A = this chain, B = another copy of it.
Amino acid sequence: MSLVYDRVALIGLGLIASSMFWAMKRRSLAGEVRGYARSSQTRDTARRIGVCDQVCDNLQDAVKDADLIVLCIPVGAMGNVAKEIAPVMKRGATLSDVGSVKRAVIDEVAPHVPDGVHFVPAHPLAGTEHSGPESGFESLYDNRWCLLIPQDGPDPDAVARLRALWEGMGANVDLMDADHHDLVLAVTSHAPHLIAYTMVGVADDLRRVTDTEVINYSAAGFRDFTRIAASNPTMWRDVFLSNKEATLEILGRFTEELFALQRAIRLGDGDHLHDYFTRTRAIRRGIIDAGQDTNLPNFGRGNEIDKKDQ
């Protein structure tokens, strides 16, 4: 791959930014990558492990010469940061982000974007339960989707260039409208996360089942929930608060269906349960066919390597 941007600024140095750094380095997609994080401890860690070519102690220093600035911070912090960097962004630069919610980010950030700066919001659908600069790895975006949400009249070249960067980092890229994005993600990510947080909280509350038992005997199911429920608390607080309507709508639907299944259990209606569980199996098949997860019988455990991701 060839160079896509001369200078990139990563604002926030967590899992997403540090993975972007390693993914850009892997294919030499950026000339120089500067980074900034509000916490001096995070900046020190990033310097120590070599995340970013240069870690700046000052937000403006990271941003001022950049051709691409990416906000990799919680959604609730983006408006203020956009306001702070507005005076120093270079004319012709692209401003992007990686937030899990798009309408709220656009409402908060767009008013601060100066003329001559291209604002192209983005959302890479990738992550792990881990946070911080040490959690990043170069293959995080391989074969994952990155959705770009170009605003009214974006420069087509700016969109194409950002697409080239994400493709270079291994992702598949698609374009989507902001409101539609927020509804789709409420179904595929936001509601499931809240549900997982809830179930893990319930387990933690139950005095009748000791911690050790819940932990030792966490079969698949609960174990997967705990992984989801270990994600960054600040990031997820902001996601729920800024995608409130779509999340609450999906949770309402969820509760309705859950009550119907609880009723089937109470009444001993085995056919209802069996039909429901058979139907949900099909959607899993679709996800595997779409290449978004592995079908290996042992999930890559044992001596097998998950071949899809190589």
Contact = CB atoms under 8 A, between A and B. Distances in A.
Contacts of A128: 220, 297-299
Interface stretch (A52-60, A113-121, A153-161, A179-187): A179-187
24 contacts: A128-B220, A137-B302, A145-B216, A145-B217, A184-B209, A184-B214, A185-B219, A188-B223, A194-B262, A194-B265, A198-B258, A200-B284, A226-B284, A226-B293, A227-B284, A229-B280, A233-B273, A233-B274, A233-B278, A236-B273, A236-B277, A237-B277, A241-B273, A248-B262
A49 interface: no
Chain copies in the assembled complex: 2
Interface stretch (A4-12, A79-87, A249-257): A249-257
Nearest to A235: B277
A300 interface: yes
Given A220-B228, A227-B284, A273-B240, A250 B184 contact: no
A208 B183 CA distance: 9
Contacts of A136: 297
A226, A228, A234, A278: most-surrounded residue (chain B CB, <10 A): A226
Interface in A112-158: 125-130, 135-137, 139-140, 142, 145, 147
Given A187-B222, A217-B185, A298-B139, A233 B192 contact: no
Nearest to A138: B302
Interface of A: 76, 125-130, 135-137, 139-140, 142, 145, 147, 174, 183-185, 187-206, 208-209, 211-231, 233-234, 236-238, 240-241, 244, 247-248, 250-251, 253-255, 257-258, 261-262, 265-266, 268, 270, 273-274, 276-287, 290, 292-293, 297-303, 305-306, 309-310
A219, A251, A310: most-surrounded residue (chain B CB, <10 A): A219
A140 B298 contact: yes
B301 A300 contact: yes
A204 B297 contact: no
Contacts of A200: 280, 283-284
B187 A280 contact: no
A258 B195 contact: yes
A270 B287 contact: no
A80 to B, nearest CB: 15
A206 to B, nearest CB: 6
A283 B236 CA distance: 17
Given A229-B284, A248-B262, A222 B192 contact: yes
B189 A233 contact: no
Given A128-B220, A215-B287, 4 more contacts: A188-B221, A191-B199, A215-B286, A248-B262
Nearest to A271: B237
Given A230-B284, A257-B198, A277-B233, A218 B188 contact: yes
A302 B292 contact: no
A174, A188, A301, A305: most-surrounded residue (chain B CB, <10 A): A188
